[in-house]
Chains A and B, each alone.
Chain A
Amino acid sequence: MISYTIQRIFVAILIILLATTLLFIMIQFVPGDPVNVMLGPRATPELKEALRERLHLNDPVFVQIYYFFLGLIQGDLGVDLTSNRPVTSLILEQAPYTLTLVISVVLVALMGIPIGTYAAVHRGGLFDQISGVISVSIIAVPPIVIGLYLILLFAIQLKLLPAIGVGEGFWEILKHLVLPTLAIGLTWIGYVSRLVRASVLEVLMLNHVKTARAFGIPENKVLRDYVLRVALPVTFTVLGVSIGFILSTAVIVEILFSRPGIGKLIYEAVISRNYPVVMGTVLAGTIFIVVATTLSDLLNVMLDPKSRKFKS
């Protein structure tokens, strides 16, 4: 297990380095001069040239990558070209908003576990059929559409929940979190419930479950210890891998709900060709996704003895 953990950490670092280098190369192909965008029409050519030098834009790509990694080692991701603030500070300021949203989406997505389990155990019943129709319908609707309808209903018509912002104080923060979380999370409840239902149904057919039932072990215990223990690791792995999707959806949702966060920061930085912020935020996003995937993988190994044996 320890050697596997070390191996996963090593792979994670490699992925981060590779992704950063790729991003750097990709940025070179994005049309549009960041200097023109940043300084506007009234800047003199001398001023534009000075900024180009400051950003190392006149240097070859590999030199730019060298400077970026040199800064990265020193914990310096450069400065925001507009406000001159360190990118690291910006990320640290904005990350909690996005993390809160992602965590609350994951928590909401976990509601799919009891729904999927109940549907599988009562296969073919009314609940199974209704939850099946609702889940598939919700999965098919993009989060932005769900978000718009939630805003129309709960913010504009009923005026129960806020449409924008993040709020201050526990209750306000919670209130401001409800609609964005549901906008992303409803899809995931549907997805997780279908996944869990399929996994549970598969496990219910296995011999060890039949044997446990034959021994007269109570149904609840069978479900908890013999079914879910085998069926759930797959769900955690999928959720871990899906963090990336949740994060990318958060970009759109942060804009729709005018929430601060990494997503909104990336969007605005890309629009204004604010490359240090683009690099820094994407790097932060990559690290987050790689860490989440690695953790879910390790959790899967811990929970699933079969997998543990295989990996070792």
Chain B
Amino acid sequence: MVAVFIAFFGTFAVHADELRMQTPADFGQLDPAFWQSKSDQTVIDAIFPKLIEFKSGTNWEYELSAAESIEQVDPLTIKFTLKKGLMWTGGYGEVTAEDVEYSFERYIDEDLAAPNSGDWAALKDVEVVDKYSGIIHFNEPFAPVWWSTLPYTGGAIVNKASTEAAGGKFTTEPGATAGPYKIEKWEQGKQTVLVAHDGWNVGKKPAYDRVILIPISDAKSAEVAFEAGQIDVSKIAISSVQELQANMPADSVLEVRPTARYTWVGLNAENPALQDVRVRQAITKAIDVDAIIEGAYFGIPDRSTGLIAPGLIGFSKEAQPARDVDGAKALLADAGIDSLNVELELQNSKDEQTAGLIIQANLAEIGINVQLNTHDGGTFWSLGDEKGTNLQMTLKEYASPPDPAWSTQWFLPGQAGIWNWEWFNSEEYEKLHYAAISETDFDKRAKIYHEMQDIMDASHSFVWLIHPPKSVIYKNSINPGLLPNGDYNLKAFSPAK
């Protein structure tokens, strides 16, 4: 009886060479040209090699990975040489320059119609010099290639022969992989088991032989699973950070990392109620961002200074102006407005709803009555199409790779109504956006982004709130392989000494 009890209620089996990690969902697309979610990205980055890759740590820096050398010889040319001996799974031989050529050129193949073609927007072609060397040619200078393409998911190298055999693309079953890990099995909704790839001969071998990714969509369930000892590493909801810091589970470490994401309140300049810049300025002055950070985001993130997050090129240290209720009232009076009704569209998450309530209270102080329209994600992201210029105020969060071009692109005039729900329209901004993409000098590029953010602020269509942080909890027996934004870099996880 006792034996049965022990057998049944025994402790969970934990293997020293195995890492059990939470992911928010199953992967759905493993083709780098088609990836959509963080879960896709985590697995793609682990199973496909890249010429260069981001280092784990707190600063965005890249290092050589599958490339033995890589060099920007002029603004339109990058030369690379692969390390020898990196093997594909399934007997597909070595990773060659021909694979690199195929992997990158397929993004600009119109027949493939890859949704992520923007990763290689300026690519002309890849010239194969010999088995291991090649030259990447661009139509125009393309600065993001070093930040959001080569070391990011767009830089993943796929196997030419197996992909062509699969019809030129794949979804969840790549024909061959050559990253530090390979997929042993995938049971949808249950787990993805990755095991170290023997053919990864070009760098440090992963410290863990097996990594088990467990899809847990609910953040609270993930916390519980961590506390119950069923997982070793988990993302944590921002709302739980304070509570966990006060009562840390035994032998655990909690890290909060800034991300390149940005959250803001957008004001639609094309809507009749908000067309007058004085009204928009009054709203931006009346919203108490510090109160929102305290109330909705538990005082954890710093107040945002603009579109571009800390750590990225073009981040501005200049603080946004403090709240000014009297100034806001004066502007409304100047515009001849006694009272105004506006609608704020937001998603149904707890933090956004709290932020919405604070904004509602803030604007009531200056005579603006805010109606909160709460939506689920699917509905919210279709509002641009459905409401058009009838949209008034929106509370939004966009994600971004670690290059500012991915943040600035959504506010171009051509994006009005698509992702630019502020109908922000500046020719100067557009000109600078393309100038920044072509500018390969770091300092000059940063200066351009400062100017672009100043133009955005001058429009009074944006109230920058935060760059949402990512919090990760892990056992102290682990050295975490985390990128600066808290994303997993699976092969860099190792046991703590």
Contacts and interface: CB of A to CB of B under 8 A. Distances in A.
A1 B7 CA distance: 48
Interface residues of A, number: 55
A166 B215 CA distance: 12
Nearest to A39: B115
Contacts of A94: 188-189
Nearest to A40: B36
B230 interface: yes
Nearest to A151: B224
B214 interface: yes
A164 B36 contact: no
Interface stretch (B50-58, B379-387, B451-459): B379-387
A91 to B, nearest CB: 11
Interface string B213-225: 0111110011011
A42 B379 CA distance: 18
B186 to A, nearest CB: 10
Nearest to B381: A36
Contacts of B172: 83-85
Contact of B215 (A155, A171, A258): A258
A242 to B, nearest CB: 25
Given A83-B172, A84-B171, A268 B217 contact: yes
A42 B32 CA distance: 13
A163 B380 CA distance: 32
Given A155-B224, A156-B224, A260 B189 contact: yes
Contacts of B189: 94, 97, 259-261, 264-265
A33 B113 contact: no
A83 B116 CA distance: 16
A268 B25 contact: yes
A39 B115 CA distance: 7
Interface size class of B (residues with CB under 8 A): 35 or more
B162 to A, nearest CB: 17
B228 A256 contact: no
Nearest to B118: A42
B11 interface: yes
A174 B8 contact: yes
Given A41-B410, A156-B224, A272-B378, A83 B190 contact: no
Contacts of A41: 410, 418-419
Contact of B227 (A46, A80, A156): A156
Given A155-B224, A271-B376, A273-B378, 18 more contacts: A36-B382, A38-B36, A39-B115, A46-B113, A83-B28, A159-B11, A159-B228, A159-B229, A163-B224, A164-B221, A164-B228, A164-B230, A255-B218, A257-B221, A258-B218, A260-B188, A265-B189, A268-B217
The 4 closest A-B pairs by CB, nearest first: A260-B189, A82-B28, A32-B378, A43-B115
Interface of A: 30-34, 36-44, 46-47, 50, 80, 82-85, 90, 93-94, 97, 151-152, 155-156, 159-166, 171, 174-175, 255-261, 264-265, 268, 270-273
30 contacts: A30-B379, A32-B379, A32-B381, A33-B382, A37-B381, A40-B36, A41-B418, A44-B113, A44-B115, A50-B113, A82-B28, A84-B171, A155-B224, A159-B11, A160-B9, A163-B225, A164-B216, A164-B225, A164-B231, A165-B190, A165-B230, A171-B7, A175-B8, A175-B9, A255-B218, A258-B217, A259-B189, A268-B25, A268-B217, A271-B376
